[in-house]
Amino acid sequence: MKVLPRLHKAVLLNSALGAVLIAAVGGAYAVVVSSDASSAKHTDTRTAAVSTGKVQATVTGAGLLTSPSDAGVNFTTGGQLTKVEVAPGDKVTKGQELAKVDDTAARQALAQAKTSLVAAKANLSKVQEGQPASPPAGSGSNPSGAPSHSASPAPSTSASPSTKPSPSPSASASTPPGPIGGLGDLSVHNVSYAVPVANPSVDPNLLVQAQAQVSQAQTALDTAQRTLDGTVLTAPVDGTVASVGASVGQTVIGTTYTSGAGAVPGAPPAPGTTGGAAAGGTPAAPSGFIVLTNPTGMQVKANVSEADALRLKPGQAATVTLTAQSTTVLNARVLSVGTLAVNGGTGAAAQYPVTLDIMGPTKDLHTGQGVSVQIVAGEASDALFVPTAALSGTGNQRTVTVVAADGTAHSARVTVGVESDTNTQITSGLTQGQKVRITTVAP
C-alpha cells in the first residue's frame, strides 16, 4: 500500500526535471538563433556604378568673427580723468579726441625742459666763441662735472732757428712738438694728439661737454612733449565705442611702450591691442581703457584638425555661416594657415588656426559672433568617381572590389585624386560603368 505513493512522487520528480531540461535546451537554441540573426542583419552589401561628375573636397571648422581694425586704446600718461568724451555705442573717426587726464604736471615739465634747452644752447655758443662756459642750471660746474680747462695758447711760429720750442710735458715721442696747420693740443688719458679747431681759444673738452648738454636737453624736451601728448587719448581708427573703462574723476594708469629689439626709446605706443589669442586658439576680444570695434575688413579665426590643415592653403574659397543665423551665409577665402598647433594636450587632438577674409559687405557683422566654416580644399570637374565607402586602404593607392556582370568579384588597385566625404575621384584603375562592391555595417 505504501509503494504507490512513493512511485507517484518519483514520477512527478522526473517529470519536473524533464521540463527544466527541455526549457534549458530551448533557451540555448533561441540564443544561438537570435545571435545568428543579429549578426546577419548588421551586414549590408550593395553595388555602385563608376560614374562621372564633380567631386569637391571640403574642410569644416568653427570659429569667431574678428576685425583687424578693432582696437583697445590706453593712455600713455596716467593721471586723473578730466574728460571722457564718448560712451559705448558712439561712432568715432580716426584722430578724434576720446578722453583726457590732468596735464598740469606734464605742462610744467615741458616748460622746464624748454628752458633747459635754451640755456644749453646758449652755453654751447659761448664755448664755440672761446668764452668761459656757463655751468648747467643748478649744478655750479660744467656739464660733465669735470674741472674747467682754458685753452693753451699756441706756441709762436716766428721763433728763431736757434730757439726750439719746448715740448708739452704730456707729449709723447710720436707727437710733433708744436702746432701743425692750426691744430691745437688735446690730451686724453695722457696721450697727446692734434685736434682741428676753428678757434684756437676753444677748449675741445668743454666743446664736447656743451654739445652733450644740448643733446641731453633736447632728449628731455622730446620726452616731456610725449608725456604731455599722452594726456590726451585719440581714436587710432574709425569705429564704434564698445566699452569705456572709467569715468571723470577716476585715475588711470599710463602704459609703457615696449616692442622688443629695435624699439625706439620713448616712441609712442602702438594704436591698439587685440589681446592675442585666448586659450584654445580662439581670438581674444581687444582690451584697453576704451575699446573700439569696426566691422571693416572682417575676418574669421577658426580651428581645423591637423589632417585638414595639411590640405589648406591661402586663396582657397570658403563659405561662412553665422551660428545664430543659419540662413546667413557669407563668401570668404583663406588668408593664412597657422603652423603652430592649438587646443593640443594630453589626449586632445591637435587643432590648427586658420584665418579667412570675409568677401562682401560686413557692416552688419559684429566681433565675437560664432560661425562655422566650410573651405573648398580640392575640386575636380568631369571626374571619374566611386563612393568613398567602396575604397579600402589609405594614401593615393587604394583597392576596390569590382563585380562583373555574371556576379563574380575581384579586387582591383586604383589611384585616387580629390576625395570628399561621399565620393572619391579615380584617376586610374577603373572605367565608367563598372560596378564596385560596397559593404557596410548597419547601425
In tens, the pLDDT along 169-183 reads 433 333 344 433 333
Over 70: is that where the pLDDT of 148 sits? no
Confidence (pLDDT) at 59: 93
Least confidently predicted of 61-70, 87-96, 282-291: 282-291
Given pLDDT bands bounded at 50, 70 and 90, which one contains residue 286?
confident
State the fold for domain 46-55+381-441: 2.40.420
Read off the pTM. Answer: 0.55
What is the CATH number assigned to the segment(s) 61-65+277-378? 2.40.30.170
Confidence (pLDDT) at 267: 35
Cα separation, 89 vs 361, in Å, equals 20
Q: pLDDT digit string (tens) for 383-441?
A: 999 999 999 998 899 999 999 989 899 999 999 999 988 999 999 999 999 999 998 87
Is 339 exposed, middle or buried, given 0-12, 13-18 or 19+ CB atoms closer than 10 A?
A: exposed
